[in-house]
């Protein structure tokens, strides 16, 4: 009676191992064609600069747009990049500048969230505090 249970367990372990090995090369094929890999806020000349590192997976990528939703001490605003086109596969950087006038009027930047859109569809989000 124990023999069939052992065979079933061996079959399930083998099946899970085979599925894991076969799906490993397909991992990137199911991923989005672009993703935010990191972001950093620095103060420059009284204002802020949000640096964004991102990676594209397709040979060419078009129609990328970044939106940065910012919460200041006395208000919330959204800043948008221009549309990015003709981006080759690989690692890239972009930045969004927030002027010193915003900081003087609405206080320090408390937190921000970055949304990445491709062809008008939200594909990635990164929150920083």
- Per the CATH hierarchy, to which homologous superfamily does domain 31-128 belong? Immunoglobulins (2.60.40.10)
In this prediction, residue 30 carries a pLDDT of 46
pLDDT of 16 strictly over 50 = yes
Rounded to an integer, what distance in angstroms lies between the CA atom of residue 31 and that of residue 23?
13
pLDDT of 96 strictly over 90 = yes
Domain residue spans of the chain? 1-30, 31-128
Structure tokens at 19: 């599925």
pLDDT of 93 strictly over 80 = yes
pLDDT, tens digit (0-9, with 9 covering 90-100), for 20-62: 766 655 544 445 689 999 999 999 888 999 999 999 999 999 9
Rg of the chain on CA atoms, in Å = 22
pLDDT, tens digit (0-9, with 9 covering 90-100), for 72-91: 999 999 999 989 999 999 99
The model's confidence at residue 94, banded by pLDDT at 50, 70 and 90, is: very high
Name the DSSP class of 15: H
Output the CA–CA distances (angstroms, integers) from residue 14 to 9, 27, 75, 95, 107, in the order listed.
9, 20, 57, 48, 59
Q: What is the three-class DSSP state of 13?
A: helix
Place of tokens 């594209």: 56
Averaged pLDDT for residues 103-118: 94
Report the predicted TM-score, pTM, of the whole model to 2 decimal places.
Answer: 0.71
Q: Whole-number mean pLDDT of the chain?
A: 86
Q: What is the three-class DSSP state of 116?
A: strand
Structure tokens at 121: 């569809």
């Amino acid at each position: 009676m124990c023999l069939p249970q052992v065979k079933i367990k061996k079959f399930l372990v083998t099946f899970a191992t085979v599925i894991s090995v076969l799906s490993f090369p397909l991992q990137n094929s199911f991923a989005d064609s672009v993703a935010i890999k990191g972001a950093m806020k620095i103060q420059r000349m009284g204002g802020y600069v949000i640096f964004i590192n991102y990676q594209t997976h397709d040979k060419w990528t078009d129609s990328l747009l970044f939106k940065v939703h910012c919460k200041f001490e006395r208000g919330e605003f959204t800043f948008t990049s221009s549309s990015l086109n003709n981006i080759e596969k690989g690692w890239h950087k972009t930045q969004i500048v927030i002027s010193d006038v915003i900081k003087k009027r609405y206080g320090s930047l408390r937190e921000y969230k970055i949304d990445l859109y491709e062809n008008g569809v939200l594909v990635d989000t990164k929150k920083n505090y």
